[in-house]
Amino acid sequence: MRATSLGRNLPRIVVFLSLIAALIGSAAPGAPAAPLAACAPRPAVGVAVVPGGAGALQVTITATTNGSTPTNQLTRLQFGAASGALIDVPGQPAGQPGSFTVVLAASTTQTSFT
């Protein structure tokens, strides 16, 4: 994720929270999210953020496991609107302003973007 305005972290936080909300689970609009019995408790989503140079952040998302979910995977990244930031996802157009979804390959357990 690249900041178009250095020193402004709010757009980064909004995109980050939108991404986490998409990874934790989704339901039909207006319907409450209910975890499947086999996925309770849900494994945490691993998130690592480090400086990526030139005002960018390197974000790595990891599907983790627990006793009730010994295997886990990421299926998609869903980005909300980014204000003052651009998002680069490998295999996608560079410098996207947000509001897009990336469907990941089957069995993906970790992915990164800037």
For each of the chain's 114 residues, which pLDDT tens digit applies?
555 444 444 455 545 555 555 555 444 445 555 555 566 788 889 999 999 888 899 999 999 998 888 899 999 999 999 888 999 999 999 999 999 999 999 999 999 999
Query: The pTM is what?
Result: 0.69
Sequential DSSP letters for 5-56: STT--HHHHHHHHHHHHHHH---STTSPP---GGG-SPPPEEEEEEEEETTE
pLDDT value at position 60? 95
pLDDT value at position 17? 52
